[in-house]
Amino acid sequence: MSQAYDTIVIGAGPVGSVAAHAFGERGDDVLLIEANPAAAARFAGEWLHPPGVETLDELDLTPIESAQGYEPGRGFVVFPDDGGEPIRLPYVEGRDGLSCDHREFVSELRDKASSHANVEYRSFVRATEVEPGRVRLEKERGDESRTVYGDLIVGADGKSSVAREPLGHSVDPEVVSYMGALMLHDFDMPFEDDGYGHVILGGPGPALLYRIDEDRVRMSLDVPIENETLRRDSEALYRAFEPVLPDSVASAMREALDNQPVQWAATHFQPHVHYGSDGIALVGDAVGSYHPMTAVGMTSGFQDVACLVDAPNLEAYRARRAHGSYVPELLSSALYKVFGGREQGAETLRSAVYKTWRTDEELCKRTMRLLSGSETRGRAFAGAFLKIAIRGAAETSVETMHQHGLTALTRVLATYVPWARWPLVSILPDRVQQRLRRKSTIDTPFALSA
Ligand SMILES: Cc1cc2nc3c(=O)[nH]c(=O)nc-3n(C[C@H](O)[C@H](O)[C@H](O)COP(=O)(O)OP(=O)(O)OC[C@H]3O[C@@H](n4cnc5c(N)ncnc54)[C@H](O)[C@@H]3O)c2cc1C
């Protein structure tokens, strides 16, 4: 191993592997290190939106072999909890996403990076200290340690990033919920032939289904953090979700639970605020975490890389990505609250979302552009949110006024006030947004008392 590199990438997860390849392609002499290659054998990102696929394409990393041989990701079918028919939300402009097993996807990207002529890959090597221009490394097997030097250090080391520490931002992300994963074998999803991911609502949290290879369909079940029983007791888990699942899905879940343990993963929220400075750039989950419900983590991480490799300096990178990741972050938190939340107003908003999706084709398209990360303008998010919220409020108001009078109506309308923070914050000037964002949580983009 040499001592000095143009670029040192810490972490060979999906985003670090893409980063190492991209800097290698640019002509940099790159060192890519990975502490624990087996970390990718966990339940994590498996669905990639079309802009993520496009970014891989631009970075010369397609085709993805692990996603071949079955229908690509064409969009989502949402099974609403209002008794109505499933709602189809295709990606717009004819572009496809992809889905595949996380471990296989990372292994393929890592192979592409490590076989690049300009990339030196070292596994079982952990970065223990990072400073501008240098990284202290320790071998995971054996007690060897050494220092390497790089003009640029890229922290792609996930949510507990060591590269974030010298930037003074080592706060751990907030745990939001737990996602239980099951593998369904020899199972055809209800909208299988068209390549749609399935989102089933009305359970303790959203349930997702998508194909990850010819034989296997992933089922993931989001469970609120406080509901420990569902994590401990698979029978209770089945009983909690079964009433909202189509019959074929419920039987497949039953069979899977009889034959395999549920694989649990914590989901996190951390606002994307710190993109780096002083020769240290952060990418992917090292910057922040979205709730996985909108499956945007890897797409956003790959966009970080494409932006960083092109940016004239770190300040330009920070400004572009801080802006570009804000709407996806607001959307993932707001959608999780509307679809998973039990607080006041969530049910009405959910029902307004369903009605709007059933009747307003333009808004369906906008939803999918926002969801996939191809539309990141605050006013597009605010417009869609307000249209839905006004519809919900109007319908409830008429009903409440009619049945319970003006006082009740005032009380009901007051429950909408906290929801107004989401569209409001998305249209504030960048400077104000970034200040509020530092203290944002999954529950609120800013505290009302701030
Ligand atoms: C349950 C769940 C479901 C998800 N579903 C989706 C989805 O469908 N679509 C989507 O886009 N996203 C999804 N995500 C998010 C997605 O998994 C992440 O955004 C993505 O894995 C981030 O990639 P990364 O490379 O930045 O970080 P990681 O995947 O965390 O990789 C970091 C790598 O760095 C290594 N490392 C850490 N510290 C060090 C160190 N000090 N030295 C050397 N190496 C180090 C780790 O071993 C690891 O290999 C999901 C997340 C969860 C939890």
Residues 256 and 286 in one domain: no
CA–CA separation, 217 vs 101, rounded Å? 10
Instruction: Look at ligand 1, atom 13, and give the residue with the nearest C-alpha.
Output: 45
Residues 349 and 207 occupy one common structural domain: no
**446 in any annotated domain:** no
Q: Which atom of ligand 1 is nearest to the CA of 157?
A: 34
Contact call for residues 291 and 333 (beta carbons, < 8 A) = yes
Say if residue 243 is in the same domain as residue 291.
Answer: no
* Ligand 1 close to Cβ of residue 17 (< 6 A): no
Question: Relative to the CA of 289, which ligand 1 atom is closest?
Answer: 19
> Would residue 370 count as lying in a domain?
yes
Residue 25, pLDDT score: 98
Smallest CA-to-CA distance from 220 within 228, 372, 212 is with: 212
Residue 148 lies in a domain: yes
Per-residue pLDDT at 28 exceeds 70: yes
Ligand 1 atom with least separation from CA of 267: 53
pTM of the entire structure? 0.95
248 shares its domain with 116: no
What pLDDT is stored for residue 170 in this prediction?
A: 66
Using one digit for the tens of pLDDT, what is the confidence trace for 79-117?
Answer: 999 999 999 999 997 789 999 999 999 999 999 999 999
Weakest mean pLDDT among 96-105, 239-248, 325-334, 406-415: 406-415
- In a domain? residue 328: no
210 and 346 part of one domain: no
pLDDT digit string (tens) for 366-422? Answer: 999 999 999 999 999 999 999 888 877 777 767 766 777 777 667 666 777 788 899
Handedness of CA 116, 119, 125, 128 (dihedral sign): negative
pLDDT at 450 over 50: no
On whether both 132 and 219 belong to a single domain, the answer is no
Same-domain check for residues 137 and 27: yes
Q: Do the beta carbons of residue 89 and residue 367 sit within 8 Å?
A: yes
Ligand 1 mean position, distance from CA 79 (Å): 28
Q: Which residue has the tokens 């390849």?
A: 21
Domain count, the chain: 3
CA of 14 to the centre of ligand 1 (A): 7
Q: 161 and 40 in one domain?
A: yes
Beta strand ranges found along 157-215 (DSSP E):
174-185, 196-200, 207-211
Residue 239: pLDDT band with limits 50, 70, 90: very high
Q: How confident is the prediction for the chain on average, in pLDDT?
A: 92
Residues 253 and 203 in one domain: yes
- The answer to the question of residue 77 being in a domain is no
Q: Tell me: do 155 and 185 sit in the same domain.
A: no
- The rounded radius of gyration (Å) of the Cα atoms in the chain is 22
Residue 402 and residue 375: Cα distance in Å, rounded? 39
Give the per-residue pLDDT at 403. 73
CA dist list (Å): 50 to 46, 87, 94, 97, 212: 13, 20, 10, 4, 16
Answer whether 221 contacts ligand 1 (Cβ < 6 A).
Answer: no
For the stretch 120-170, pLDDT in tens is 999 999 999 999 999 999 998 777 899 999 999 999 999 999 999 988 866
Ligand 1, residue 162: give the atom nearest the CA: 41
pLDDT tops 80 at residue 75: yes
307 in the same domain as 277: yes
Domain end (from 225, 245, 268): 268
The answer to whether residue 35 sits within a structural domain is: yes
Q: Categorize the per-residue pLDDT at 37 as very low, low, confident or very high, splitting at 50, 70 and 90.
A: very high
Is residue 137, in this structure, part of any structural domain at all?
yes
Q: Is the CB of 306 under 6 A from ligand 1?
A: no
**CATH number of the domain that 295 lies in?**
3.50.50.60
Answer whether 46 contacts ligand 1 (Cβ < 6 A).
Answer: yes
Q: Is the CB of 177 under 6 A from ligand 1?
A: no
Q: Is the CB of 328 under 6 A from ligand 1?
A: no
C-beta of 39 in contact with ligand 1 (< 6 A)? yes
The confidence score (pLDDT) of residue 141 equals 77
Q: Kindly state if the Cβ of 292 falls inside 6 Å of ligand 1.
A: yes
The reported pLDDT for the residue numbered 54 is 96
User: If you measure from the C-alpha of residue 422 to the centroid of ligand 1, how many angstroms do you get, rounded to a whole number?
Assistant: 27
Eight-state DSSP code of residue 285: G
Instruction: Give the CATH number for residue 195.
Output: 3.30.9.10
The answer to whether residues 138 and 186 belong to one domain is no
Of the three residues 290, 323, 356, the one that is the final residue of a domain is: 323
Nearest CA to ligand 1 atom 45: 11
Confidence check: pLDDT of 1 > 70: no
Q: Is residue 368 a contact partner of residue 380, using CB atoms and an 8 Å limit?
A: no
What pLDDT is stored for residue 216 in this prediction? Answer: 94
Domain that holds residue 242: 174-268
* Residues forming beta bridges with residue 149, ordered by sequence position: 4, 134
pLDDT band with cut points at 50, 70 and 90 for residue 348: confident
76 in a domain, yes or no? Answer: no
CA distances from 23 to 32, 104, 318 (A): 11, 22, 18
Q: Which residues 6+ apart lie within 8 Å of 106 measured at CB?
A: 12, 13, 14, 17, 40
